[in-house]
Amino acid sequence: MSGRILTYRQAVVEAMAEEMARDERVFLMGEDVGKHGGAFAASKGLFDEFGPERVKDTPISESIIVGAGVGAALTGMRPIVEIMYIDFIGMALDSVVNQAAKVKYMFGGHARVPLTIRTAFGAGRGNAAQHSQSLETWLTLIPGLIVVMPSTPYDAKGLLKSAIRNDNPVVVIENKLLYGESGEVPEDDYLVPIGRAAVRREGKNVTMIATSRMCKFAESAASKLADEGIQVELIDPRTLKPLDMETISVSIAKTHRVVVVNEGHNTGGYSNEISSKIMDKCFYDLDAPVVRVAAEDVPIPYNSILENEVIPAEKDILAAVHKVLES
């Protein structure tokens, strides 16, 4: 590490700027990504640096945005397309699911779709039910898609650069409340490998697997549990598909107990997928059932008090660890 501190937002912008400068085939398009710099300022300055041919504002039509991206990728470009909120990706699912994810397979590997889809997700901003969802599980269902979810500025830059260089469609899911978080980001060119988890904290009593912003809550909870003599091993998957089960399995063989934390809903959320894979691969290493921490099965409320009750919080993580240790 260089000691240089950037925000998550700055890391995203820098990743795109470096890749656009490195490869003239890379361009960005989406709603308000140009002069406005994006709804979350996550493309600020790119329009001034690269101009309207490389940073394109689009109509308010997710289907057009992703469809054009698929077409550009098929003809040799390496587009980055932004879906402002993951809640709206349903408008583009045909292009994502039936085109981007399937073309390479259906053409026997002779066609490539080097498409990067960036989108923002998550609750906690009072954006209400239509702008606060965690729909990553939808995307992990689809063979042919790679899905990554960085939790730190370092990973936001490194995973995005890996996505842009990949010859397959990659969905990069960024949490809205992480854009202002700061962390070390080297000036040197680097990549974070797709499909490799990070062990954020080592421990011997419980394996905790947490995604995106939930890693921040999990780290805080782990620090408090350490004061009780409970050592948590915290794993950040970083890539949801393919999931790094090797790192997870090694940890579970050591701790024998697991808590999974994800912001998606309890029913059908990504915590279920992780738990299922653990049962398939690590069943005989478990001394207790897997405990999940997830959002309640209700639309995300606008009211801040209700919103905070619906999404996972540190108190829920602490309770889950105590539960799994008592099993």
Domains: count for the chain: 2
Kindly report, residue by residue over 150-177, the tens digit of the pLDDT: 999 999 999 999 999 999 999 999 999 9
CA-angle at 248, arms to 244 and 250, nearest 5°: 120
Interval 259-294: pLDDT, tens: 999 999 999 999 999 999 999 999 999 999 999 999
Q: 3 falls in which pLDDT band (50, 70, 90)? A: confident
The predicted pLDDT at position 327 comes to 84
Q: To which H or E segment does residue 48 belong?
A: helix 46-50
Q: Is residue 150 part of a domain?
A: yes
C-alpha–C-alpha distance, residues 312 and 96, integer Å:
29
Same domain, 150 and 13: yes
Within a domain: 160: yes
Any idea what the CATH number is for the domain that residue 165 is in?
A: 3.40.50.970
Q: Are residues 68 and 205 in the same domain?
A: no
Task: Using the predicted structure, report yes or no on whether residue 317 has a pLDDT greater than 70.
Answer: yes
Same domain, 166 and 204: no
Residue 143, domain extent: 5-184
| pLDDT above 90: residue 180 | yes
Q: Say what the pLDDT of residue 185 is.
A: 97
Confidence of residue 1 (pLDDT cuts 50, 70, 90): low
Same domain, yes or no, for 134 and 280?
no
Cα of first residue to Cα of last residue in the chain, in angstroms, is 40
Q: Can you give the CATH number for the domain in which 237 is found?
A: 3.40.50.920
User: What sign results for the dihedral spanned by CA atoms 88, 89, 90, 91?
Assistant: positive
- 173 and 269 inside one domain: no
Give the model confidence (pLDDT) of 193-231 as tens digits: 999 999 999 999 999 999 999 999 999 999 999 999 999
| The pLDDT of residue 209 | 98
What single-letter amino acid sits at 45? G
Same structural domain, 68 and 162: yes
Instruction: Please give the Cα distance from 116 to 166 (Å, whole number).
Output: 9
- Domain boundary, last residue among 136, 158, 184: 184
Residues annotated as part of the active site: 62, 131
Residue at 189 is within a domain: no
